[in-house]
Chain A
Amino acid sequence: MNLEQALQTLLPNAAEAQVMEVFAAPFLEALGFGYSERFSEFPVGRRFKVDYAARKNINENIFSQSLEQPYLYMEVKGRAKKLGDEHHNHYREAAKQLKGYLLDSASESVKWGILVNSLHVQLFRKHGKVIHPETPCIPLDANIQRVIRDLKQRIESPKRGLIVTVYNNKGGVGKTTTTLNLATTLALLKKRVLIVDFDPNQSDLGDSLNLQPLQGKLLTILKSRDPDIREVIRAHKLQHPRVQKPPSFDIILADEQLANNLDEAKLSQQLKLHALRRALESVRNDYDYIFIDAPPNWRLFAKKAIFAADAVLIPARHDNLHSLQNAGTAITRFIPEIQKERQQLGESGPVALPIFMNNTFKPTSPAIQLMHQAIDKIIRDAKANFDGFDLKPYFYPKSSPGHENHKMISIPYMAYISRADFMHMPAAFAFKAAREQYLNLVKEYFL
């Protein structure tokens, strides 16, 4: 039975079992996974079973026999489950379930997750520990062949890099420090990293490495329809007399021309919202991670930086109420705003990563107790004002129903980190104690 026949056979309210029986196999077949390249009820670790797993056969290694190194998971739902509406509980639960499978330690080789109920389909990409939607929820109607072609092309040519924007519209929460240290830590782990200083008003990032900003080159590239961003990428080696093989990352410095010459209204006429994303797309396969250091506001540059991202990392500080509130605002308002823009282009994302607390104190200190009260209020307000939006998983990622866990992802206050700034060197490179903190952070978020 081919896919069109399968869709005609299914009743309008077909249950999961029927979708599984009639639709799932021809759908995977159409995506290029043959009979011996897929397996239903695939065991994920010891606890779960995902509806389908698939992988192309490699020489003698037949997937349906060896069941090793799955490449794609597919979670099938009944037609009654409303997957078309991203705010519906059905969708949220199904997406959560699929994410749970993808994040299991047994799923390390998996790169893609598909959520499908034969009416809608959505593709998720997995990059290390980060899972983000690759496409919006696409309806499967008359254009099914086009959808299949698009999905197939994405699945067959996975992109290497993950684009992460570090953003908080409050200044002084450590965006630049975080960007620099994350990049350094990943470079020390032999990952290829590019950082983009996209804050022309401050150009702190270049400054903290003692590098001069660009003069107009980036502006030209962002304006161009066929950009070659490689022209402005320069390698930066972290030198130290006792380190023999210095780790290095690539960097795009801020462009002074973007800050000085033009007023913003004029600039926004020249630069499209997707300018940065388009420019970075061309080098995405050269890197494992691309970090964008975004400016602290919600204007032109910040919007472009968020638009360019797959995932947004939001640092905040426990002693700065506004940074906490703004983190909430970014998740409830700004990021969804950009998600809408992206959806119009047939893309999806970016997703917000859990908020991370910079320069924290011990959990028992009074300042932290005060912070928890403030966060509780922010969570309550978001629920009331944004149609039940639940910020809790972003502040307290380890909490679950029936288990209050107020552990946050954090970097403690360390004198090393600010001292390293004066040395024009990332703390994660200069000091072991700082490196170990950032290593934990990197493992928590990315690896």
Chain B
Amino acid sequence: MSLSDVGNLMCLPFDEIEPGEPTEAHEYLIQSAASQLGPEGRNWVPLVVKELAPDQYQVIGNSFIYAVAAEAGLEEVWCIIADDAPETVAITQALAQETLPRTNLSTASREEISAALDYLMSQPSTPLKGVSHASLVVRLDAAPRQYWKNLQPITKLGCRITAGKKLKTLEQVFYLTPEPMPEVITDRQLLESLSTKQLKTMAQKRDFKGLSKLKKADLVALLAAA
């Protein structure tokens, strides 16, 4: 494989190019762009391709252009040749807005959370109707999310997020890289997110006596005070 073409803008025969991830654009957009372009036209916005073998390429970005070129019947397409590193594919798709970027909820700042939720809620068919953006941002920001192993605890924040469609929507933009739980926890909010059983084991480990009659609130108070 020759690396010399990487970074170049080249005019490649259409039949040497394989489609990559297909575009989900509406056929109206594809058809009208194709009729504007015509079979002799030039695609000034290039396809981004990687080289599979000599004279064989695959689309990694701007797959909308590929669909339009196919519809218009172009014989030659202008392409930028990219290298085949996975990061290249990822950044190309992000720049072409072909993937939904994801935010690390374990470490995200308030602004990042706010922007991600705002994006989700501004989608026309969002299942997050009736969820208060302000409340969710405040509560997510304050929650001990660095320890979360999955997004399930969001359902306990009292923000009308239920396990199911709403949580699935949040999973589209958030992922987690959890830290291990500390041995001794005194943070009240974190303690409250644990189950009574977990709290009891923790209290036993720290040599508290007379635990059997205590309710969850008492256990939290006991562990938080120490």
Contacts and interface: CB of A to CB of B under 8 A. Distances in A.
Interface of A: 105, 363, 407, 412, 432-433, 436-437, 439-440, 443
Contacts of B137: 440
Contacts of B134: 412, 436-437, 439-440
Contacts of B122: 363
Given A433-B135, A437-B135, A440-B137, 17 more contacts: A105-B109, A363-B122, A407-B118, A412-B134, A432-B135, A433-B132, A436-B132, A436-B134, A436-B135, A436-B138, A436-B139, A437-B134, A439-B134, A440-B114, A440-B134, A440-B138, A443-B110
Interface of B: 109-110, 114, 118, 122, 132, 134-135, 137-139
Contacts of A443: 110
A363 B118 CA distance: 11
A78 to B, nearest CB: 34
For the residues of B in contact with A, the DSSP-based class is helix
Contacts of B118: 407
B125 to A, nearest CB: 13
A43 to B, nearest CB: 19
A206 B1 CA distance: 79
Nearest to A410: B134
Given A407-B118, A433-B132, A439 B109 contact: no
B158 to A, nearest CB: 9
Nearest to A407: B118
A439 B132 contact: no
A-B residue pairs, 5 tightest by C-beta: A436-B138, A436-B135, A437-B134, A440-B134, A436-B134
Contacts of A432: 135
Nearest to B133: A440
A432 B114 CA distance: 19
18 contacts: A105-B109, A363-B122, A407-B118, A412-B134, A433-B132, A433-B135, A436-B132, A436-B134, A436-B135, A436-B138, A436-B139, A437-B134, A437-B135, A439-B134, A440-B114, A440-B134, A440-B138, A443-B110
A436 B135 CA distance: 5
Contacts of A433: 132, 135
A437 B132 CA distance: 9
A440 B110 CA distance: 9
A192 B137 CA distance: 25
